[in-house]
Amino acid sequence: MTRSLERGRIVADVAGLALTAEEREFLAHPQVGGVILFARNFASPEQLAGLVAAIHAVRSPPLLVAVDHEGGRVQRFRDGFTIIPAMRTLGRLWDGDQAKALTVARNCGLVLAAELRAHGIDLSFAPVLDLDHGPSGVIGDRAFHRQPAVVSALAAALQAGMAAGGMAACGKHFPGHGHVAADSHVAVPIDDRPLAAIEADDLQPFRRLIDEGLAAVMPAHVIYPDVDQRPAGFSPVWLSYLRRRCGFDGIIFSDDLSMEGAAVAGGAIERGLAAVAAGCDMVLLCNDFAAVSALADGFAAAGVDGPNQARLGRLFRPALAESAAALEGIAAYRDARACLAGLS
């Protein structure tokens, strides 16, 4: 039976290819607002569509279903999906042919979004707006380019393509993860640059996409001590800057709170409360069912209210096609997919 319940702040994960009874019950918790899927949740396009439908059926309005599906090495679903090239491929294409690079970027966005939406998925945490400064292995070829103007142009084209495919975009990792060598999955990176240097460089793509309607942002688990001693995702200073100085009015998702870069905030409940207090609308906690269950109960005990429902609702957009079969009948999709042939 579908439960009528406003969406909460927690984005959780599920273990396998179908919901268990325990997971179904947990997803009905008032503090849960979404689910993030991984490669382990995918066996075939048909199975994926069934899993997403089951998640959506748990409650009304439906939970947000999201995925990290950027292209390159971060593409969770492959069989039956178009292989999206790493974003660095588009940057290299720009260096030789700017007009072609913009066309390909838009088509990448359209195909990425349309295929996910045809399987019911609401949001991909893309694009990466970090600059390719060189030291960061975890960012690396996920970044479009070193130059902020190039990243801005290509990411804006990709965002426009995603919108045409029926999906909002989520820019990450604010205010820029590309300058640090440490991987925030396993360490606490520190970026010692002054704010003026970050503003002149890494923040430019975020400003450009916000000006063009960016619907969601994910801050980095990186400390920028010139601004705050807390990682950006736990920093009311940074998230206030995002709202007030950058004019962002969309949803702020924390990065995964199970990452080592989040450990400075304490245990799972402390991390979640700190992220919400800083200004995150939604918090991700993955790969630890006991911890995310404790977080939900901790939020309830602390009286954490839900996110702005209208703001969150803007992430739900009409699909270009409601099924993979219907998508094949749309010329714009077929043309976009043909444009990507051979790029990956």
Q: Enumerate the active-site residues.
A: 185, 255
Buried b (16+ CB within 10 A) or exposed e, 8-42: bbbbbbbeeeebeeebeebbebbbbbbbbbeeebb
β-pairing, 69-71 with 74-75? antiparallel
Decide: 91 and 145 in contact? Cβ < 8 Å: yes
List C-alpha distances in Å: 280 to 32, 198, 313: 14, 21, 16
List the Cα angle 132/135/137 in 5-degree steps. 85
Cα(269)–Cα(116) distance, integer angstroms: 31
Decide: 74 and 39 in contact? Cβ < 8 Å: no
Rg of the chain over Cα atoms, rounded to whole angstroms, equals 19
